[in-house]
Structure 1
Amino acid sequence: MSEFDEFDDFDFSLPTTHGARQAYRALVQGVAAVVPSHGLYAVRDISALGLALLAPCDAFVDGEHFRLDLFVDGEPYIEGLLAHVVRRCDAGLVACSFDGPNRAQEEHLDKLVLEVQKRQIAERKAAEQRNEESKETTRDIGADERS
């Protein structure tokens, strides 16, 4: 009996629900997708499973399959991703799901989403730090005025 046998019955699977997001979707800046059959579009958000393009709703057809290349800050990042349209919104968003990315593409997608998350966490911490410093400055000024 191993010291880790108590974990054999533990289940790490997540329940699947229709309509619910199954992966963290990160809002991105500086990411673009080139769809050779359609053109260049800014990417609004991305996950390991798909992305949302800022595109006119009539630029794509529901269920349409296509190949795309992702660029980060103008530099090629992932080439030849297969995707299809899941939903088109009136707000100029086209939601797409990836169709079986290969291992290298998956790794690049995971890295991109992780880097975006790390940047968002750093920005949030910096904002919290500035807010805290602002509060301390306000308290110090108030204390000086009472003296």
Structure 2
Amino acid sequence: MDIKIDSSSSRGAFRTSLPGLAIRIEGYEDSFPVKDFSVNGLAFTSGKHDFDVDTEFDLSLFLGEKELLSGLRAKVVREIGKGLMGCTFIDLDKYQEQRLDKLVLEVQKRMIMLRKKKGQKS
């Protein structure tokens, strides 16, 4: 499993990636792969769909078929290129913030474990 953390992010939060993480946006049948995410927002691949900057939508986070968190509100803040859209979360409640914090923390823990394991094999 390839998990990545960018601790040098200027966005004020650790950005991490988790293979298989996707979003489902209300009103769309497709799910959209998440490139990376943090407690503040995420970047996703828009595929054949166009999303304008300042577009707001409700989404749910999924890992495979398992819903991790629903009812998140996001706003597109930039088009990164090649169909990659950068979003910030807006109006999160305490529960949503805590769940996002926990998800990021779990990915960080897993990455540390994988690094330790890799170091032991060397």
TM-score after normalising by structure 1: 0.71
3-state DSSP class of the match of 2:52?
coil
Q: Which residue, out of 16, 27, 31, partners 2:17?
A: 27
CA RMSD of aligned residues (A): 1.7
TM-aligned CA distance change 1:58 to 1:71, over 3 Å: closer
Q: Structure 2 regions of 5+ residues with no counterpart? A: 1-8
Give the structure with higher Rg (CA): 1
Contact 1:68 1:81 (C-alpha < 8 Å) held by counterparts:
yes
Structure 1 residue 57 displacement after superposition: 8.1
Identity of aligned residues (%): 38
Q: Which residue, out of 94, 101, 115, partners 2:92?
A: 101
TM-score after normalising by structure 2: 0.84
By percentage of residues, which structure has more strand?
2
- Farther-moved stretch of structure 1 (83-92 vs 44-53): 83-92
Aligned length: 113
- More contact order relative to length (CA 8 Å, sep ≥ 6): 2
Task: Say whether residues 1:71 and 2:62 are aligned partners.
Answer: yes
By percentage of residues, which structure has more helix?
1
Structure 1 residue 58 displacement after superposition: 5.3
